[in-house]
Amino acid sequence: MYTDKASGKDVAPPQLEVLLGFVRDGDTVVVHSLDRLARNLDDLRRIVHALTARGVRVEFVKEQLTFTGEDSPMANLLLSVMGAFAEFERALIRERQREGIALAKRRGAYRGRKPSLTAGQVADLKARADAGEAKAALAREFGISRETVYQYLRAAASTG
């Protein structure tokens, strides 16, 4: 069983890559729904085609669809239509989320995420980075990602 818990926005979730490297002719990949396998229609079709071309059966539980590589034109149409609807639904959700955040910002109710570090920690981070300490080591010590370290350093540089 392969389960990705990463964000849905990832084009190539790590466990999907492991699965794609592991499956063999005669295996069956069972997926809860179309939108769990890929983020857009192009990726969905590419993944299903790549799997079925290797002799792997792909089953989508929610949609009750199965693909074997010897699929009818109707099955391929259903894959395309249902995949397009899933992509459309995700786009609508993102749009509504952006609109909701914009409205909340105008009301003053949305302030974004709480900063990971206090002002004192940021000053310590900047001083140690300026002294030549490795960014990755600082990130581990402060419990943040390397990218967040760089964001704090850029912000500190732009404010003085």
Q: What's the pLDDT tens digit per position in 10-42? A: 456 778 888 888 999 999 999 999 888 888 999
36 lies in the same domain as 78: yes
Verify that 34 and 84 share a domain, yes or no.
yes
**Residue 114 banded pLDDT, cuts 50, 70, 90:** confident
Q: One-letter amino acid identity for 128?
A: R
Strand order in the sheet with 65-67: 28-31, 57-60, 65-67
- What sections of 65-117 are H helices per DSSP? 73-107
Q: What is the pTM of this model?
A: 0.62
Does one domain contain both 76 and 134?
Answer: no
- Is the residue at 112 inside a domain? no
Q: Are 67 and 79 within 8 A, CB to CB? A: yes
- The answer to whether residue 38 sits within a structural domain is yes
Is residue 4 a contact partner of residue 13, using CB atoms and an 8 Å limit? yes
Q: Could you tell me if 83 and 123 lie in one domain?
A: no
* Average pLDDT over the chain, rounded to an integer: 88
Shared domain for 75 and 101, answered yes or no, is yes
Residues 154 and 102 in one domain: no
Contact criterion met (CB below 8 Å) for 14 and 22: no
Domain count, the chain: 2
Q: What pLDDT, in 10s, does the model give residues 40-69?
A: 999 999 999 999 999 999 999 999 999 998
pLDDT at 113 over 90: no
Mean pLDDT of 92-103: 94
Give me the sign of the Cα torsion angle 4, 6, 12, 14: negative
Identify whether residues 127 and 155 lie together within a single domain.
Answer: yes
Tokens of 160: 């003085």
Same domain, 101 and 124: no
Question: Is 87 within a domain?
Answer: yes
Q: What value does the mean pLDDT take over residues 106-111?
A: 86
In a domain, 113, yes or no: no
Containing structural domain, residue 135: 119-159
